[in-house]
Amino acid sequence: MAASRILSTWFRVLWGLAHDVEDCLMEFYLHLETPSRAAGAKHLLLPRPDIAKRMASLRSNIQQLNTTINNTIYSAIPHSQVFMGGSDIDLNADMTTQAKLVINKCDGHPLAITTVAGFLARKPKTAIEWKKLNDDLSVGSGTNPNLETICKALAPSYDDLPYELKKAILGEIEKLTKLHKLGLTGINMKNDKNVLCAIAKLTLLRSLSLRAEGKPGLQGCLDHDISLPKNLQSLKIYGTLVTLPTWITQLQHLSKIKLRSTQLELDFSMKVLGKLPHLAILRLWKDSFQGEEIIFNFHRGLFPSLVVLELSNLDALKSLSFMKGALPRLELLHVENCIHVESNGFSGMSFLPRLKEVTLKGDYNNKFVDNLRAQITHNQNRPILKGA
Look up residue 91 and give its DSSP letter: P
DSSP notation for 229-297? PTT--EEEEES--SS--GGGGG-TT--EEEEES--B-HHHHHHHHHT-TT--EEEE-TTSB-SS-EEEE
Asked if 356 and 381 touch (Cβ cutoff 8 Å), the reply is yes
Look up residue 302 and give its DSSP letter: S
Q: Reading across the β-sheet that carries 294-298, which strands appear in turn? A: 294-298, 317-322, 346-347
- pLDDT tens, residue by residue, 87-115: 445 567 777 777 767 666 665 555 566 56
How confident is the model at residue 2, as a pLDDT? 47
234 beta partners: 207, 256
- pLDDT tens, residue by residue, 171-199: 678 888 888 888 888 788 888 898 999 99
How confident is the model at residue 142, as a pLDDT? 45
Asked if 9 and 108 touch (Cβ cutoff 8 Å), the reply is yes
**Is the torsion defined by CA of 234, 32, 386, 62 positive or negative?**
negative
Q: Quote the CA–CA distance of 374 and 369 in Å, as a whole number.
A: 9
Q: Which residues contact 138 (CB under 8 A, 6 or more apart)?
A: 105
- pLDDT tens, residue by residue, 327-364: 999 999 999 999 999 999 999 999 999 999 999 999 99
- pLDDT tens, residue by residue, 39-83: 444 555 667 777 777 777 767 766 666 566 555 544 545 554 555
pTM over 0.85: no
Q: What is the rounded (10 degree) CA torsion for 123, 128, 132, 134? A: 100
Peptide bond into 216 cis (omega under 30): yes
Alpha helices in the chain (DSSP H): 2-33, 39-42, 48-76, 79-82, 93-106, 110-121, 127-139, 148-153, 163-173, 192-200, 266-274, 366-377
Residues in the chain: 388
